[in-house]
Structure 1
Amino acid sequence: MFTFLGGIVLLIVGYFTYGKVVERIFVPNAERTTPAYTKGDGVDYLPMSTKKNSLIQLISIAGIGPIFGPIMGALYGPVAFLWIVFGCIFAGAVHDYLTGMISIRHGGAHLPALAGKFLGKVMKHVVNAFSILLLLLVGTVFVTSPADLLVDLVNGTVPAIVFIVIIFIYFILATILPIDKIIGNIYPYFGALLLISALGIGIGLIANQAAIPELSLTNFHPDNIPIFPLLFLTISCGALSGFHATQSPIISRTTQNENQGRKIFYGMMIAEGIIAMIWAAAAMSLFDGPVSLNELINTIGTAGIVAEASTLMLGSVFGTLAILGVIILPITSGDTAFRSARMIIADYFNISQKKISSRLWIALPLFVVSVFLTTVDFTLLWRYFSWANQSTAVIALWVGSMYLFIAKRNYWIAVIPGIFMTMACATYILNAPIGLGLSMSTSYLIGAIITILITALFFKAANKARGQNIPLEEDVSDWKNPA
């Protein structure tokens, strides 16, 4: 219990301390006009309140990641708490803040455009394709997983295909309608439900004095499961997630003032870390450790564990409400995944999104591909999603590093987690069956070489870019902020 509660405290302290450090390094400008005003189109660009933006950001980035990921990460024992806490404070929240704020400085640009500017034109095309792939995987996974939970909730009386169709219809509407019509109106309530359900599980753990294992040398590494790199890809959304780099620009287009960035981007990642801590603790304590948990994952699956934990901790009525909160998570990240994909494609081909017909012809092919992907095995999709997700985070961290390097600010806040995750992603794809399938020792060696080369190339390119006086923000001198 002490490890769990201590981790929660550290996350909160991290927001008020390291979060302010990151903010001071970036230097937000309250007088600078944001894209919500300079590019207002009534569809994607329009100002919304800090509270609304924060809850939308939280519900968009959360998905099933901070629940399913930590449940599977609980197999590694209490060491999972360390990655959630320190990964969230020093990597994930920094990643989210930088991508959101740099996007604001560049007119609400998405990651492919930012990668093109700061990492080279070739990277724009690479990251564009990579981002679309990631978002399609996210959207598809976030159709099937809530459908499974809904089937369990109604005891199988309604087939999964019915829920899948309903979810797809909702996704289409949320993708093409102006952001304030559906997302802006209902997401704040969904965000509140998410927080309440997680808080309920957390209070239940404490009130019942749940046997949450403590971090120690004896249980640091249960069953000799290789922690690196697997843990750092298994738990993504609760600590560091590249998916967030695709979501933050959605809110960068609705943010009223740069000073709101720490609460919206850094703060909501911390909130997600707290949710991840709660579900990791629930998985470790309620199912008698890694052996029983592993058996349950292989039998009833992570969705079943969520249902069991919610009912055990909160009873049938409030447990059902908690399950509904969890069901909402993937749905409200799936729709923004498709929305983000639509926006990225529109930006790439410079297509105005004011007309609904322009939004439709971009969005509908994405849904056709996603429908096909729903026929693919979920676990296979998740393996590819994990690697694609964290590789996207690596790209976003290097973009942030380049921005800060050119600005002559403390770029190490992004470089250090960037190096670490470059090594993790390289090692994983070299060793994993979905990759090259090399031995772990060989993967470590080659992964280290790749990481060193990428780091060297970064500093070479960064020094060159600093001398070229690349503008770090769009010129909005002709605009006046009405806020």
Structure 2
Amino acid sequence: MVTFFASLFLLVAGYFVYAKVVEKIFGIDDSRQTPAYTQADGMDYVPMSWWKGSLIQLLNIAGLGPIFGAITGALYGPVAFIWIVIGCIFAGGVHDYFSGMLSLRHNGEQYPSLVGRYLGNAMKAIINIMSIILMVLVAAAFVAGPAQLIDQITPLNFTMALVFVFVYFILAAVLPVNRIIGKIYPIFGAILIFMAVSIAIALLFMDRSIPNLTFENLHPGELPIWPLLMVTISCGAISGFHCTQSPIVARTMKKESDGRKIFYGAMVGEGIIALIWAAAGMTFFGGTGGLQEAMAAGGPAGVVNEISTSLLGTLGGILAILGVIILPITTGDTALRSSRMMLTDLLSKFMNTDNRGMILFITLAVGAPTFYLSTIDYSFLWRYVGWTNQFVATVMLWTAAIYLLKQHKFHWIAGVPAIFMTAVVCTYIFYAPEGLQLPYNTSMIIGFILTGIVLLWYAWMIIKHKQSITANQQSTVA
């Protein structure tokens, strides 16, 4: 119990202390006009209040990620609390803040365009492809899940439910951001918060106590903590999906000082939600062994339903249904909207993409494979989303680090978590079942060698930057 409250305190303190450090290093300027005004189009660039933007951002980035991922990560035991706290404050919050604020500074640019600016066109091309694929897979997953539950609890069959959800997706992706997303997302965001807070309060009155910190790996399947935990719990710690969503809200911000509340604040909010559900998972079932049995019987959705209905009664059942249906839908629709925006940016170099007809065409172009994937067994593709997600996050951290380096600012605030996440993704892909399945020690060696190569590149960029400064100073003196 002490560990849980200490973790909660640290997350809140992270927002009030470390987020201000991040903000100061970035350097906000409220005298700058934001893209919501300079690029106003009545579609994506629409001014909205910071509190509405915060709730929209929270719902965009959260969905079921901080619930399902945290429950799965709880199988490792209380060590999951450490990753959520450290990851959220020093990696996820930095990642989300810079992805949103760099987009804001560059007229609401999409994530791949930001990568191109600071890491080059080759990396931009890779990220463009990976980001759109990630968005399509996420949207497909979050169409099928709600449709299956609707099929079970309503007269609609799976196909009808699928069509119903998908039509909503298309509408949310093509209508102005303030028509659907701006009106109903704050309500759904409030439901997400209320659900988590209710579970947290109920946990305090259980006859079992939330376990305290132990560095022991309690996973029943004896899976290693490093690097699997860092990929299992992404939403709530650090997730590359977030940087694809940040430009949606960045295009609606009224002033730069709202960035800390919107981007870093939503990340901390998601971290708190993940912390609560991780605690619920490892407490409600009497340990990680009981949690694994519950996961085997009903999966994460079944675990959420059992915890909610048992702790909160009828209200819990309603919240569980709202969570399993609404939350993935509200993540899937913005995933589709993001993929539409990214593809629009790509095609804008070759054709006019500003008219509504072209917007609808591009949405359908990314919507067609999304709908198809939601009707088949795409689990063999979905297994790669976890690694892809963290790879995207790592590239965003490197983008922030190089931006700060070029701006003569303290780049290590993004560079250190970028190095850490580089080691995670480089090791994971060689060891994981969906990767190359190499022996653990072999994967560790290869992963750290690759990380060392990236470190050498980083050192070279730093040296190159210092040389350019020296050359400029000498030129000025001459």
Q: Find the counterpart in structure 1 of residue 343 from structure 2.
A: 345
Task: Flag the 1:378–1:194 CA change in 2: closer, same or farther, 3 A.
Answer: farther
What is the CA deviation profile of residues 12-60 of structure 1, one whole-angstrom value per residue up to 9, with x for unaligned ones?
A: 0110010111111111111111111111111011111111111100000
Q: How many angstroms does 1:373 deviate by? A: 1.6
Residue 290 (structure 2) aligns with? 292
Aligned to 1:199: 197
Partner of 2:438: 438
2:28 is paired with a residue of what secondary structure?
A: coil
Give how far 1:348 is off. Answer: 1.6
Q: What SS is found at the alignment partner of 2:212?
A: coil
The one-letter code of the counterpart of 1:113 is: S
> 1:105 maps to which residue?
105
Whether 2:294 is the aligned partner of 1:283: answer no
Distance, in Å, in 2 between the alignment partners of 1:177 and 1:226 is: 45
Count, aligned residues: 467
Q: Structure 1: 5+ residue runs without aligned partners?
A: 470-483
- Name the CA distance, whole Å, in 2 between partners of 1:259 and 1:223: 46
Measure, in 2, the Cα distance between the counterparts of 1:352 and 1:202: 50
Give, in angstroms, the shift of residue 163 of structure 1.
Answer: 2.4
Please state if 1:163 is matched with 2:161. yes
1:269 pairs with one of 267, 270, 274: 267
8 Å contact from structure 1 (residues 149, 303) kept in 2? no
Deviates more, 1:380-389 or 1:341-350: 380-389
**Counterpart for residue 254 of structure 2:** 256
Q: Which moved more, 1:408-417 or 1:256-265?
A: 408-417
Distance 2:448 2:286 in 1: 37
TM-score (norm 1): 0.93
Q: For residue 401 of structure 2, what is the aligned residue in structure 1?
A: 401
The structural deviation recorded for 1:352 is: 5.2
CA 1:292–1:35 in structure 2 vs 1: closer, same or farther (change >3 Å)? same
Q: Which residue identity lines up with residue 285 of structure 1 in the other structure?
A: T
| Letter paired with 2:293 | E
Match for residue 313 of structure 1 among 311, 314, 321: 311
CA separation of 1:109/1:376 partners in 2, compared to 1, >3 Å: closer, same or farther? same
The 8 Å contact of residues 141 and 381 in structure 1, kept in 2 or not, is answered as no
Match of 1:301 in 2: 299
Aligned ranges 1:87-106 → 2 under 5 Å? 87-106=87-106
SS for the counterpart of 2:384 is: helix
Greater displacement, 94-103 / 369-378 = 369-378
Deviations 1:219-265 (A, max 9, x none): 66666430011000000011100000000011111111000000000
- 1:361-440 correspondence runs (5 A): 361-377=361-377, 379-440=379-440
Q: Distance in 2 between matches of 1:379 and 1:15?
A: 36
Partner amino acid for 1:327?
A: I
Say which SS state the counterpart of residue 17 (structure 1) adopts. Answer: helix
- After superposition, the C-alpha distances for 1:346-391 in whole angstroms (9 at most, x for unaligned) are 1122255542211111111212111222244464344211011000
Matched, 1:6 2:11: no
Instruction: Name the counterpart of 1:183.
Output: 181
Aligned pairs for 1:104-123 (under 5 A) are 104-123=104-123
CA deviations on 1:303-353 (whole Å, 9 max, x unpaired) are 111111110111023431343134322111110001011101111222555
Q: Counterparts of 1:346 and 1:366 in 2: how far apart (Å)?
A: 11
Note the aligned Cα RMSD (angstroms). Answer: 1.9
Task: Show the counterpart of 1:49.
Answer: 49
Q: Indicate how the Cα distance of structure 1 residues 283 and 337 shifts in structure 2: closer, same or farther if over 3 A, else same.
A: same
Deviation at 1:176, TM superposition (A): 0.7
Q: Deviations over 1:424-462 (max 9, x none)?
A: 111111112322221111111111111111122133235
Q: Paired residue for 1:327?
A: 325
Q: Distance in 2 between matches of 1:12 and 1:414?
A: 20
In 2, are the aligned partners of 1:404 and 1:410 still within 8 Å (CA)? yes
Q: Which moved more, 1:328-337 or 1:162-171?
A: 162-171
| Alpha-carbon shift at residue 468 of structure 1 (Å) | 6.8
Structure 2 Cα separation of the partners of residues 132 and 322 of structure 1: 30
How does 1:229-244 map onto structure 2 within 5 Å? 229-244=227-242
**% same residue:** 51
Contact 2:64–2:327, Cα closer than 8 Å, also in 1? yes
For residue 63 of structure 1, what is the aligned residue in structure 2?
63
